[in-house]
Structure 1
Amino acid sequence: MFGFLSSRQLLFVTNRRRTQLGLLQKNAFFIIQSFTSVGCLSESEFENEPERNHFTVSYLVKSCGLSSKSALLASNKVHFQNPDRPDSVLSLLKENGFDNTQITKIIRSRPTLLLADPENTLLPKIQFFRSIGVSGSDLPRILTISPDLLRRSLTNHLIPCYDFLKSVLLENEKVITTMKRSQRAFLCDVTNVMAPNVALLRELGAPQSAISLLVTHSPSMAFITHAKFVKAVQEVKELGFDPSKALFVQAIQAVLKLKKPMWESKFEIFRRWGWSEADTLLAFKKHPICMLLSEEKITKAMEFLVSKLGFSSKSIAKNPVVLNLSLEKRIIPRCSVVQILLAKDLVKNDLSLATFLLPTEKYFLEKFVIRFQDNVPQLLSVYQNKMELLDVEIQSEKALGKVIPTRHGLSGEQLPLQQKQWRIGHELLPTEKRFLEKFVIRFQDDVPQLLSVYQNKMDLSDVQFQSEEVGETELL
């Protein structure tokens, strides 16, 4: 058990605070006046209010910043005729970095805290949170969100919670991170709720790093009832996940968060992009978090990678982690750089998504930017979004920007280019010579006007099609 306060230390703190509070109470008027009253009660608002509540309501409005309506509601939970105890509580909060807005929120939510013993009840808890590493700026924010932390027993609840979380996460910093993400970690009964779930994961052989990840990043999942947790674990095992791998815990997280209708909805979203059920399950097994992404995020990534760049949607199922990347901060900047390098034949034309989207920032800069600075001086500016891609001079590779999209032809139907595993450099950004040979000259007999269309000498709508099927078999 965490024993940061010995009886001797607690006695010292108590005596010291009583002396300080004695001085503060003499000047309570000046401290309380720092609050801006949001308005006084009208006579009509007092008409039906019991006389014993008049002082309480007035205090809540003038000293705590509550609205008249909130004060009336709060007075049903707390009553006092003497301001000494509430003044001491407010003074203690302000001394420990709480601003007026935060104090108002706390009192509005938990007005009974005004009658708590500031010396023996509130102060030791604040000191405890500070002692485990909660910063001065974080503590008021955390306690404002979850004021019930100040009502939990220090000895019987808060310290045991900390001790248990420390035994699971091993590092104090991770305990603080967990607390910031979800104050529930210090509010729930960890012995009866979280402990059985952690024990089950350990029994199945889940690595410590995976357990820490679950508790730190999704504490609400770790605090799910044991029966639901067991059911989720069983489902994940049946899907073929290995408990000894970190993906096992990520899959549990996804299964617990997604209810059946939402799960089916995600399958439908991917189905619209050409994924079979097997493709979606493959993606889930490779990167379970992909099932937790919003429809908007999935659609934007697919539209860019599939519709604009021409990647096969099924190739993304094999690298689903790319869907989780930021489109604006990672995917577009890196694709812009690779487009230039491919157009200049500086890199191989069979690059896969994982080759340039998944590496670290340092690796990408070294391998794809700095390495080619002499060849393309503007490369870093393009990557940093300081220069448009079209402003980069591509001397002989004029195919850049002239590639017909592989999706949505004349009829809006998917074009036959999509039937292959297309890569950004292989079909979308070849050199001028390669593009002409592979996509124009090769089909001159079938579509005589193709060269004129490519050279902008003829509008696509002027091309004569002999049958409706040409759009499916011959048009590129």
Structure 2
Amino acid sequence: MFSLIIRGRRNSPELHKWHNLRASLKAFLSSFSSASVADVSRRKGNSFTVSYLVESLGFTTKLAESIFRRVTTTEEANKGNNPDSVLSLLRSHGFTDSHISTIIRTYPRLLLQDAESSLAPKLRFLTSRGASTSELTEILSKAPKILGIKKDKAFSRYYDFVREIISADSESSEFGKLSEGSAQENKLRNVLVLRDMGVPQRLLLPLLISNHHVCCGKEKFEETLKKVVEMGFEPATFRFVEALRMLYQLSDKTIQEKLCFYEKLGFSVGEVWEMFKKNPSFLPLSEKNVLNSIEAYLGLGFTRDEFATLVKCHPQCLNYSAELVKKKAEFLVKGMNWPVKALVSNPTVLGYNLEKRTIPRCNVIKALMSRGLLGGEGELPSLGSVLVCTDRAFLKRYVMKHDDGDDKKLVAELMDIFTGDRVS
């Protein structure tokens, strides 16, 4: 445990008056249908529409709508820039449709840039420096947001640094001698430190181009990095970067307050940090959100001890919305008749997609039970054997075992149920 953690009191009282906790506020969720998104497009008179993304880039309607919402509120969206000119410019520099699709998924605002006055000069500059087509397409496909940097000098340095990170056989870097200075220099230096520690390219590039402050500054970054290393996180993993982000945003005073809060709930300091190692994103949660989460689980029939066991094993449970937890738990407990204890033993099931994973598999199980094909008198199998396995393992265990002789028709029916072509 890192040295700056201040230990809380040992006599941690249990949280009382659970039934008096305030009802959780439902998160305000907004979504647009295809029609409403199209209406926004027409009002803005913007040629960058959902149908354009679907037809020109082959995106699904759902993905196209998501991308459209991310850019229609930007200033560029009102300038009437032509996305076709951007696509044509990229293709003229050797970018394939696959490259372009990847770029737009990551940085959809690129389609709203002025191709001639903003994007073309940057590509010409890189080409004049000797950048080959393969280098351009690889680097800009992996870090397209650098194309949004307006200052030429900053754009050049970021491009060079991304190239340095991507270069597999590079043994040294001119950026290694960067001293403390501008925010840009600090970010480049700190990302280089992480690279030298073994943080992989796929995790470095998002840090380099994000607006998050985790890689800015010097002392705060070094202190936070020291904490993460001392806690035993492996640099090659996503959790290392996630822990760095979470701790960077919390002061030592806030960390102490968090520890004291969880002690009042019955968790020891050691247990809190073990939970943090499993899911760093739970620590910054507000006390209100945690209490609302607790109320939701207790309202579903979990005891305090079962809730504590659930969270210590799978702290991600605290991140799930109360509404989704209720929907999933009620389906599994009331709809399928698995006991609450089964969820405590298999907490990861609460994170599975209900429509795409849980319901299709459970429909197969119900179909088999109705035919008396599961154990004695249609006995319900264990929750883990049904949900905590790959699709391939599930199909082998409950569907393909019937692929013999007259059972081929049954297999076809079960596959239809599993794929959603038929309800059980």
- Number of the residue aligned with 1:368: 398
Q: 1:145 to 1:224 in 2, by over 3 A?
A: farther
Q: Distance in 2 between matches of 1:352 and 1:197?
A: 43
Matched, 1:339 2:342: no
Segments of 5+ residues of structure 1 without an aligned counterpart are 1-36, 39-63, 69-90, 108-112, 390-476
Letter of the 2:146 partner, please give it. Answer: L
Paired position in structure 1 for 2:222: 195
The reply on whether 1:174 has 2:174 as its aligned counterpart is no
**Residues in 1 aligned to 2:272 and 2:361: alpha-carbon distance in whole angstroms:** 34
Please tell me whether residue 137 in structure 1 is matched to residue 166 in structure 2: no
SS at match of 2:381: coil
Q: Pick from 352, 357, 381: which aligns with 2:416?
A: 381
Amino acid at match of 2:423: E
After superposition, residues 74-473 of structure 1 pair within 5 angstroms as 102=109, 135-140=139-144, 142-143=145-146, 150=155, 155=175, 156=178, 157=185, 158-176=187-205, 178-179=206-207, 183-184=210-211, 188-189=215-216, 191-204=218-231, 206-208=232-234, 212-216=237-241, 220-227=245-252, 230-231=255-256, 234=259, 239-240=267-268, 247-256=275-284, 258-343=285-370, 344-347=372-375, 349=379, 351-374=381-404, 375=407, 376-377=410-411, 378-389=413-424
Identical residues among aligned pairs (%): 18
CA contact (8 A) 1:122 1:150 kept: no
Question: For the residues of structure 2 that align with 1:174 and 1:132, how far apart are their CA atoms?
Answer: 20
Q: Which has the higher contact order (CA 8 A, sep 6+)?
A: 2
> What TM-score do the two structures reach when normalised by structure 1?
0.49
Partners of 2:339 and 2:149 lie apart in 1 by 47
Distance 2:315 2:305 in 1: 14
User: For residues 138 and 203 of structure 1, do their structure 2 counterparts lie closer, same or farther at Cα, with a shift above 3 Å needed?
Assistant: closer
Contact 1:254 1:292 in 2 (8 A): yes
How much does 1:169 deviate? 4.4
Distance of 2:302 and 2:329 partners within structure 1:
12
Which amino acid in structure 2 is aligned with residue 372 of structure 1? Answer: H
Name 1:472's counterpart in structure 2.
none
Number of equivalences: 296
Question: SS in structure 1 opposite 2:311?
Answer: helix
> What is the distance in 1 between the residues matched to 2:275 and 2:300?
24
TM-score (normalizing by structure 2): 0.54
Query: Counterparts of 1:269 and 1:166 in 2: how far apart (Å)?
Result: 42
Q: Which amino acid aligns with 2:277?
A: V
**CA deviation after TM superposition for structure 1 residue 124, in Å:** 11
Q: CA deviation at 1:207?
A: 4.1
Residue type at the aligned position of 1:137 = S
Q: CA deviation at 1:270?
A: 1.2
> Any unmatched runs of 5+ in structure 2?
1-44, 47-74, 80-88, 96-102, 162-174, 179-184
